Structure 1
Amino acid sequence: MTTSSETKKLVAVTGASTGIGAATARELAHRGFHVLAGVRRDRDADTIRAAGVEPVILDITEPEHVEALAERITADPRPLHALINNAGIQVNGPVESLPMDRWRWVFEVNLFGHVAITQALLPALLASKGRVINISSIGGKVAMATYGAYAGAKFALEAVSDSLRREVEPLGVHVIVVEPGGVRTEIANRGVATANDLAAGMTAEQEGRYGDMVRATNALMATGTEAGVSAEVAARVLAKVVTARKPRTRYAIGKPAAVITRLTRVLSDRTLDRVLAANLRRQQPAAAVPAHSG
């Protein structure tokens, strides 16, 4: 799979400590790229370091980290072929009860951090006519109950991607959105744990309004993760996006993502509401499902 041209190219991957980011870094190194793998801790750097994978300490919300990566790339004679904006967090809770500091942090990591690193690396990508690959989610197409903050940031990332594509594709830079469905990664498991912790902080009134919904959503999230594709399968899709001569503007990872993306195009909002509500009721205990007469 390795070609002589690919061994002369860099790829930067954010959020490469675990999951999709780590698997993608290894897959691209196997294909001959030199991968700058963004990790937040020294122990994660030690874990991922390998032939073709160079770990860099990178918190995308820290300007000095972003600047250091840009300087590292500028000093390298090899062109930057792609930036993969993969770093992210998952924080779920009802709009009413999710604290504002959590809202801001979700957008800081899942949107503004990506914008910051894209701004910093665009000069190198324009010079190489490379590509920006933004990892969105099916949450960037449909916002389920309790997904307001997470989906809000992903919807915004999709919009930014569209705008950026229309700005830089005439200059030779491809902008691609990748929308994973269920993927068996630590971020999903951490998302469930965080959602449960946040639910414990709801007031009694909020618990009465949203408690069953939150528990059902968390169960659905856990089930979707367990049934999802592996990080390695997702990495192979991303490698295809990196190497495609004429990449599409969007790619889905996993059958659920492809199906839900299609449904959002053909169903009305009310119909989609009913589909999602029915799916959620399957996760609720029988006692929590209202009885219907007649």
Structure 2
Amino acid sequence: MSSTRDNQRKTVLITGTSSGIGLAAVVAAAQAGWHTVATMRDTSRADALRQAAAEAGVADRVEVRQLDVTDPASVAACLDGVLAEHGRLDAVVNNAGAGHVGTIEQESVDDVRAVLEVNFFGVVEVVRAALPHLRASRGRLITVTSVGGVVGQPFNEAYCAAKFAVEGFLESLAPVAATTGVRVTLVEPGAVASEFVANVNVDTSAALEAAGPYAPALQRYLDRTQNAFANAQTPAEAAATIIEALDTERPALRMQTSQTARGFASTKLTDLDGSATLALTSTWVS
């Protein structure tokens, strides 16, 4: 992809880069000419990223730093380090997040809070810390949400609540940030073949046994999800949309990563009374 911006000395920070979309986005950004700061909570998991960067011939444009989005001190230390070394921050890609499957009757409010802590408040923390630096560079603020931030999905109540919150937060921030030259973009993947699903840590047998009256619906949901991810796009395909958001002169507020994701999101965005959305998602469980 040809860039419409001069990226030779520009620095992008990407969160959640040990695998999946984040790892692919680091490599793609470096290939596009960005100096790329790849952050992760546990830097001992950086081997796969370093190997991918080396194989792509961009290891010299990638640096790994520790950043835990749920720890304000970690966020501040990481950003301070980037600014001290590079003198600028031109873009941030919020990618860190964690999946979650469950329904509210069978989990605690603390479980829900934990999901929002990573997927919503982690984004808020990084955005708050990064905005002064992005304002100085008239930079980009890109956040990977999900089609689950547009369409509520069965057994994803907490996760979709977090992603809905991210979408509302950044849609509201976008016109304000634009007055200071910062462009905000939401990148919405559908199913992506990555470790994200495995990291949800659902023990299917145990979950079905504990599901009680929801067991038939959960079984249908899990079957449908397994089929969806069997036909998922690759992390590299999803990451290409992130690079488009980085390099396009005027990126859209919302950018889906596939035609499937666009079709799914459009169901909700043209559904004023919610009936079409409910008709669609109800087929997942009944």
Aligned to 2:158: 149
Aligned to 2:204: 196
Kept in 2: contact 1:181–1:257 (CA 8 A): yes
- Looking at CA atoms only, which structure, 1 or 2, has the larger radius of gyration? 1
Aligned to 1:278: 283
Counterpart CA distance in 2 for 1:58 and 1:201 is 37
Counterpart CA distance in 1 for 2:150 and 2:230 is 21
Kept in 1: contact 2:12–2:93 (CA 8 A): yes
Determine whether 1:80 maps to 2:80: no
Instruction: Write the deviation string for residues 124-152 of structure 1: whole angstroms up to 9, x where unpaired.
Output: 10000001111111111111111110000
Counterpart CA distance in 2 for 1:45 and 1:197 is 32
Kept in 2: contact 1:228–1:254 (CA 8 A): no
TM-score computed with the length of structure 1 as normaliser: 0.88
Q: CA deviation at 1:15?
A: 0.3
Q: CA deviation at 1:278?
A: 2.2
Residues 252 and 101 of structure 1, relative CA distance in 2, 3 Å threshold? same
Aligned to 2:131: 122
Instruction: Write the deviation string for residues 155-199 of structure 1: whole angstroms up to 9, x where unpaired.
Output: 0000000121122111100010011001111112322x3263772
Residues 213 and 200 of structure 1, relative CA distance in 2, 3 Å threshold? closer
Aligned to 2:40: 39
What runs of 5+ residues in structure 2 fail to find an aligned partner?
51-58
What runs of 5+ residues in structure 1 fail to find an aligned partner?
282-294
Counterpart CA distance in 2 for 1:231 and 1:215 is 27
Code of the aligned partner of 1:28: A
Aligned with residue 71 of structure 1, among 71, 80, 97: 80
Kept in 2: contact 1:177–1:250 (CA 8 A): yes
Kept in 2: contact 1:61–1:113 (CA 8 A): yes
Aligned to 1:173: 182
Determine whether 1:101 maps to 2:110: yes
- For the residue of structure 1 that corresponds to 2:70, the secondary structure is coil
TM-score computed with the length of structure 2 as normaliser: 0.90
In terms of mean alpha carbon deviation, does 162-171 or 69-78 score higher?
Answer: 69-78
Aligned to 1:212: 216
How many residues were matched structurally? 276
Kept in 2: contact 1:70–1:121 (CA 8 A): yes
- For the residue of structure 1 that corresponds to 2:106, the secondary structure is coil
Kept in 2: contact 1:27–1:239 (CA 8 A): yes
- For the residue of structure 2 that corresponds to 1:175, the secondary structure is strand
Q: CA deviation at 1:240?
A: 0.7
Determine whether 1:136 maps to 2:145: yes
- For the residue of structure 1 that corresponds to 2:39, the secondary structure is strand
Aligned to 1:243: 247
